[in-house]
Amino acid sequence: MLRLEVRPQPSRAWSYASPVLALVVTVLIGIGLFMVLGKDPVRGLQVFFVEPVKSWYAVGELMVKATPLLIIGLGLAVCFRSNVWNIGAEGQFVIGAVCAGGVALMADKTTGPWILWAVLAAGVLGGMFWASLTAVLRDRFNANEILVSLMLVYVAVQVLNYLVYGPWKDPMGFNFPQTQTFEKAAQVPRLFTGSRVNMGLLLALAGVVAVWLYLFRTHSGFAQQVGGLAPAAARYAGFSSRRALWIALLLSGGMAGLAGALEVAGPIGQLTPHVPVGYGFAAIIVAFVGRLHPAGIVFSAVLMSMFYIGGELAQSRLGLPKAITGVFQGVLLFVLLACDTLIAYRVKWGSR
Amino acid sequence: MDATALLIASSLNAGTVLAIAALGLLINEKAGIVNLGAEGLMLCGALAGFAAVVHVGATGWGFLAGAAAGAVLSLVFGWLVIWLNTNQYATGLALSLFGAGFSAFAGIPYTQAKLPDQGMSAVPFLSELPFIGPALFRQHPMAYFAVFLTLALIWFLYRTRAGLVLRSVGESPESAHALGYPVRRIRLLAVVVGGALCGLAGAYVSTVYTPLWVEGMIAGKGWIALALTTFATWRPARVLLGAYLFGGLTMVQFHLQGMGVNVPSQVLTMLPYLATVVVLVLISRNPLWIRTNMPQSIGKPFYPGS
Amino acid sequence: MIDVRKRVWLKAAALSVVASAALLGCGKKEEAPAPAPTTEAPKAEPLKAAWIYVGPVGDAGWSFAHDLGRKAAEAHFGDQLQTTFVEAVPEGADAERVIRDLAQQGNKIIFATSFGYMEPMLKVAADFPDVKFEHATGYKTADNMRIYDASFYQDTYMAGIIAGSMTKTNTLGFVGSFPIPEVLRNINAYTLGALSVNPKVKVKVVWVNTWFDPPKESDAAQSLINQGADVLLQNTDSTAVLQTAEKNGKYAFGWDSDMSAFGPKAHLASAIADWGPYYIKAIEDVKNGTWQTTRTVWGVKEGLNDLIKINDVVPAEAKAKVEEVKAGLKAGTFEPFTGPIVDNSGKEVLAAGVQADQAWKDGINFFVKGVEGRVPSGK
């Protein structure tokens, strides 16, 4: 009989190995799935793991997809480490995109490149504002942040719809719901010709460093994490839980907003009703699979992007249904959570 | 007058789905477990129910299959969070995502299928009463089941010993454990029953409410059901009323549009969600109120050894 | 401690390197065998064509109809055509990647079946001058990108004739997806068609703000029925509206495909689009080298649109009128939008006797008299 025995101390080795093991198990399940569906498993794995990195253009696309996941994931990592459950990052992403779009629409042919910074700043502030609604309701009224932030996602999407169907609709657009495409000055510059990779990637990487420094090298970051792990101890030490709440939400909201701004000022180039694609929710998985650690999140963001892109390719290359991406993502998270038990428990054979 | 009666009737119908799922989640939360996987459970229940009716025929089998699917998935969930003590929120999210992906995938062969028509059901004499008849008594039996379930749950939780044990497990699993109760098994039972109800609600959507299967057809109702339990301060009767209110808001929104009310439709679409936030705030405002109603151990892991 | 961590990282890194090498190696092996040299006369390489859809192929609606068109093209060209499709492609940044990938894969003609693909397709078209790009329901073109569209309003006009004859409450219902010009056009045509046989009719519109959400569509339909509508038309993609009508003993129409099986008593007719003929023509254009940038709007005349499976309960005069309209459409003499047309605030929008041109039809942002409520526009 297998049984679980509590380890005297959580195993550090396993806390790194667990995501790797989870990935391996997911891949094995994937192979099984491909075989059941009558597809060549090697080809299947190739489509998911090799094709997305086969050329520089492909790698660029991977980065384009991973950038928003990475940025939002970083913010969520700080949030979750503080035990604040911001499930509404998608809403903050949308409002950030809306604010950024609003500023971008004010540009005309003569505006200088400074407008780009205004656009991004607007995105950050927009996301922060939206998150602050959740923060204030939790702070003043004890309302559960999971539910409030989630409900606000639906509200945010309707706000976007209202604007693109109404006041912000492109007058030359035949009444279709979209804004004008943004002026060149307001668009995020690409890094290389021939690829869609843009400045957002640099911002994301800078964010990785910044969040790492914040969490592990500043007093404030330390206080956030203690507040999350041991609220009583935090209170004893004089760390304000209220401050922790606000920092967590404003930071993750701001980052989600930045990601939204980068998406609309980057690959999309305008505001449309199709801005929300679920990055805010996928980033939750990214944060977890990345162990809530900035370096880990880089890997998990890339991994998740591979699942997304692989899923698209699997349709045209292998004739697999789109739903397969969702299955893999869900399985990965489940398996990861199961493997995580190995951090706290040892598996032993034998009877009691 | 007639339109109002019909509005009430549709609100009750819309609310039934939410009520059954929310009552299931209530059972979970009374035992101290938050299951964010409601959406995934409802989707899998919907698919299972639809598939069962396509293959076997009677709607009853559909409901059974939906409940079974919900029970099996929540068994896995329960094992993870109760025995392996994984983070409840993360595991619930994983269940949601997995449920969505898996149901989309496994449901592909069923997207063109159709079910035999149900027709409208009505309570024989009562449905002929003026106003009240059309308003209240022309519902599918599931609607009456939801009411029955609410009453049964009130009786169970507050009038039986077993219900008391369940509530004490939710308030303080450590104390219940000290008293010799098998806390983990009780929690697992709560999770499985709750999950079965979510699956049942999903099956109702796909076999009766809109008899078809498409991926993602639950469209967020699982999340709303979660909000409902908090919104209702974990009391069954309030859950039922909240569900009807929410169902009503959705229908009222369309009613207003049809009447030509000049409010942007997006604002009307937002209404139910804003309403949920408002009520959540009103309810949570009084920390004492929350503290006296919310099971204290919600979301926290329980270690029998400690 | 640091040693353990390092060891685990190294192990993990090594594992991943080995794994990727294995995969790459396997991959290469698969592609190594060169095409076996044949001694027969060289057969023409099949033309590769690709489609992207906005929804799942099984939605019994818009994407399903396009896929039927694709299959028709496949059947027509046999082994001279090789088709691929990608479903449920979000209309945003992802679309560009998918379209680009399809172009890189050697597809010579790519069909994008939803408005939101316009900008992404334009960007990719710029990079692939020898691939032809076809965009449905849009308005931007390029040297190698053109647009095609259907005339669903012709179907809805005919549906309106039937609805106007069948309604007992003189209230018709319309479940609208989004207030875009095409949908407004369809609503207006429905209303005009109904008014042409029944001047007392009024039309109520409810917006669900989505193309596809069966429970919501069902709620919307129920709400319209509650408000007295007894014949429903929709612009959304599922069978929910029809099924709700069936449940309530009212009438409705099928949309995008033949939905008669989903509501045998309620189904009055289905407004469909048969994309097959257009796809066959477009691919012929590429094969014959006659492809040119145009905007093609087909309708009943070219066999793209039709109103089919008309229920027997529809009275004979209504059926006859529908046939008359159909004949007029096929001959190109009848135009549903013929003046005088007044919008529902009383303003005249089309003078008497004038047949609307394409520009007028494209720019519709009002409701005609008979429709209740104003067009949602946020102004």
CATH number at residue C121: 3.40.50.2300
Residue A346 CB-half CA count within 13 A:
12
- What φ, ψ does residue C345 adopt, rounded to 5°? -105, 5
For chain C, say whether B244 makes contact (Cβ under 8 Å).
no
Cα separation of A263 and A272, whole Å?
11
Closest CA to A137 of B277, C306, B210: B277
Q: Is residue A320 part of a domain?
A: no
Q: Is residue A166 part of a domain?
A: yes
Q: Is residue A241 part of a domain?
A: yes
**Minimum-distance CB partner of C116 among A45, A274, A312:** A274
Give yes or no: residues C207 and C326 share one domain: yes
| For range C160-182, the mean pLDDT | 91
Are A281 and A215 a contacting pair, CB within 8 Å? no
- What φ, ψ does residue B134 adopt, rounded to 5°? -60, -30
Nearest residue in C to B140, CA atom: C247
Q: Is A158 in Cβ contact with B100 (below 8 Å)?
A: no
**Minimum-distance CB partner of C30 among A43, A316, A321:** A43
Q: Is A338 in Cβ contact with B84 (below 8 Å)?
A: yes
Cα separation of B45 and B73, whole Å?
10
Give yes or no: residues C339 and C192 share one domain: yes
Chain B residues in contact with A2 (beta carbon < 8 A): none
- Which pLDDT score, from 0 to 100, does residue C31 have? 34
Give yes or no: residues C120 and C137 share one domain: yes
Chain A residues in contact with B86 (beta carbon < 8 A): 337-338, 340-341
Give yes or no: residues C202 and C114 share one domain: no
pLDDT digits (tens, 9 = 90+) for B175-208: 899 999 999 999 999 999 999 999 999 999 999 8
∠ at Cα C333 (C331, C334), nearest 5°?
A: 110
Chain C residues in contact with A165 (beta carbon < 8 A): 178-179, 376-378
Lowest-confidence region among B62-71, B107-116, C140-149: B107-116
CATH for the B2-293 domain, from 1.10.3470, 1.20.120, 3.90.1570, 1.20.950: 1.10.3470
| For range B6-20, the mean pLDDT | 89
The number of domains in chain A is 1
Paired with C50 in beta bridges are C84, C110
Closest CA to A23 of A240, A299, A263: A299
Q: Is residue C242 part of a domain?
A: yes
Residue C205 has pLDDT above 80, yes or no: yes
Q: Is residue C299 part of a domain?
A: no
Cα separation of B11 and A197, whole Å?
49
Residue C22 has pLDDT above 80, yes or no: no
* Three-class SS of chain C: CHHHHHHHHHHHHHHHHHHHHHHHHHHHHHHCCCCCCCCCCCCCCCEEEEEECCCCCCCCCHHHHHHHHHHHHHHHHHHHEEEEEECCCCCCHHHHHHHHHHHHCCCCEEEECCHHHHHHHHHHHHHCCCCEEEEECCCCCECCEEEEECCHHHHHHHHHHHHHHHCCCCEEEEEECCCCHHHHHHHHHHHHHHHHHCCCCEEEEEECCCCCCHHHHHHHHHHHHHCCCCEEEECCCCCHHHHHHHHHCCEEEEEECCCHHHCCCCEEEEEEECCHHHHHHHHHHHHHCCCCCCEEECCCCCCCEEEECCCCCCCHHHHHHHHHHHHHHHHCCCCCCECCEEECCCCEEECCCCECCHHHHHCCCCCECCECCCCCCCC
Nearest residue in A to C181, CA atom: A175
Residue B204, token pair as written in the block = 């109702």
Cα separation of C301 and B182, whole Å?
74
The number of domains in chain C is 2
Cα separation of A69 and B119, whole Å?
47
For the sheet with C47-52, list strands across it.
C81-86, C47-52, C109-112, C132-136, C145-149, C295-297
CA atoms A214, A218, A220, A223: torsion sign: positive
pLDDT digits (tens, 9 = 90+) for B214-259: 887 887 788 889 888 877 878 899 999 989 988 888 788 888 887 7
| For range C83-104, the mean pLDDT | 87
Cα separation of C321 and C315, whole Å?
10
Closest CA to B252 of C206, A106, A90, C171: C206
What single-letter DSSP state applies at residue B196? H
- What φ, ψ does residue C175 adopt, rounded to 5°? -95, 110
Diameter over CA atoms, chain C: 89
* Three-class SS of chain A: CCEEEECCCCCHHHHHHHHHHHHHHHHHHHHHHHHHCCCCHHHHHHHHHHHHHCCHHHHHHHHHHHHHHHHHHHHHHHHHHCCCCCCCHHHHHHHHHHHHHHHHHCCCCCCCCHHHHHHHHHHHHHHHHHHHHHHHHHHHHCCCHHHHHHHHHHHHHHHHHHHHHCCCCCCCCCCCCCCCCCCHHHCCCECCCCCCCEHHHHHHHHHHHHHHHHHHHCHHHHHHHHHHHCHHHHHHCCCCHHHHHHHHHHHHHHHHHHHHHHHHHHHHCCCCCCCCCCHHHHHHHHHHHCCCCHHHHHHHHHHHHHHHHHHHHHHHHHCCCCHHHHHHHHHHHHHHHHHHHHHHEEEECCCC
Percent of chain C with pLDDT over 90: 45
Chain A residues in contact with C94 (beta carbon < 8 A): 65, 277, 308, 312
| For range C232-256, the mean pLDDT | 90
Look up the domain containing A213 and give its range. Answer: 67-280
∠ at Cα A348 (A345, A352), nearest 5°?
A: 105
Residue B58 has pLDDT above 50, yes or no: yes
Domain boundary among C115, C149, C183: C149
For chain A, say whether B94 makes contact (Cβ under 8 Å).
yes
Per-residue pLDDT of chain A (352 residues; tens, 9 = 90+): 567 777 777 777 887 788 888 889 988 988 888 888 888 888 888 888 888 888 888 888 899 899 999 999 999 999 999 989 898 999 999 999 999 999 998 888 887 888 889 999 999 999 999 999 999 998 888 888 888 898 899 899 989 988 988 888 887 776 677 888 888 878 888 877 777 888 889 999 999 999 999 999 888 888 888 887 777 787 788 777 888 899 999 999 999 999 999 999 988 888 988 888 889 988 988 998 888 999 999 999 998 898 888 888 888 778 787 778 878 888 888 888 888 877 777 777 765 5
Lowest-confidence region among B60-64, B125-129, C98-102: B125-129
pLDDT digits (tens, 9 = 90+) for B31-55: 999 899 999 999 999 999 999 998 9
For chain B, say whether A325 makes contact (Cβ under 8 Å).
yes
Look up the domain containing C70 and give its range. Answer: 47-149
- Which pLDDT score, from 0 to 100, does residue A351 have? 58
Are A280 and A91 a contacting pair, CB within 8 Å? yes
Lowest-confidence region among A197-211, B166-180, C87-101: C87-101
Residue A21, token pair as written in the block = 């093991």
What single-letter DSSP state applies at residue B192? H
Which amino acid, A289?
V
pTM of the prediction? 0.82
pLDDT digits (tens, 9 = 90+) for C37-65: 444 445 568 899 999 998 877 766 788 89
Residue C175 has pLDDT above 90, yes or no: yes
Average pLDDT score over chain C: 84
Cα separation of B195 and B77, whole Å?
9
Lowest-confidence region among A273-287, B263-277, C245-259, C333-347: B263-277
**Minimum-distance CB partner of B94 among A144, A324, A334:** A334
| For range C81-102, the mean pLDDT | 88
Give yes or no: residues C91 and C105 share one domain: yes
| For range C312-326, the mean pLDDT | 92
For chain B, say whether A162 makes contact (Cβ under 8 Å).
yes
Is residue C342 exposed (0-12), middle (13-18) or buried (19+ Cβ within 10 Å)? middle
- Which pLDDT score, from 0 to 100, does residue C43 have? 56
- Relative to beta strand C231-234, strand C81-86 is unpaired
Q: Is A144 in Cβ contact with B280 (below 8 Å)?
A: yes
- Relative to beta strand C171-176, strand C231-234 is parallel
Task: Supply the DSSP string of B3-37, one letter for each residue.
Answer: HHHHHHHHHHHHHHHHHHHHHHHHHHHHTT---TT
* B300: helix, strand or coil: coil
Helix A145-165 × helix A89-105 angle, to 10°: 30
Residue A22, token pair as written in the block = 């989870």
Which amino acid, A93?
F
- Which pLDDT score, from 0 to 100, does residue C372 have? 87
- Which pLDDT score, from 0 to 100, does residue B120 have? 64
Q: Is C205 in Cβ contact with B254 (below 8 Å)?
A: no
Mutate to test the interface with B, among A327, A331, A341 (most CBs of B within 10 A): A327
Which pLDDT band, with edges at 50, 70 and 90, does C23 fall under? very low
Cα separation of B71 and B200, whole Å?
10
Which pLDDT band, with edges at 50, 70 and 90, does C278 fall under? very high
Chain B residues in contact with C224 (beta carbon < 8 A): 254, 258
Are C295 and C149 a contacting pair, CB within 8 Å? yes
Are B177 and B183 a contacting pair, CB within 8 Å? yes
Give yes or no: residues C198 and C144 share one domain: no
Give yes or no: residues C204 and C337 share one domain: yes
Residue C143, token pair as written in the block = 């040297």
B–C interface: beta-carbon pairs under 8 A: 114
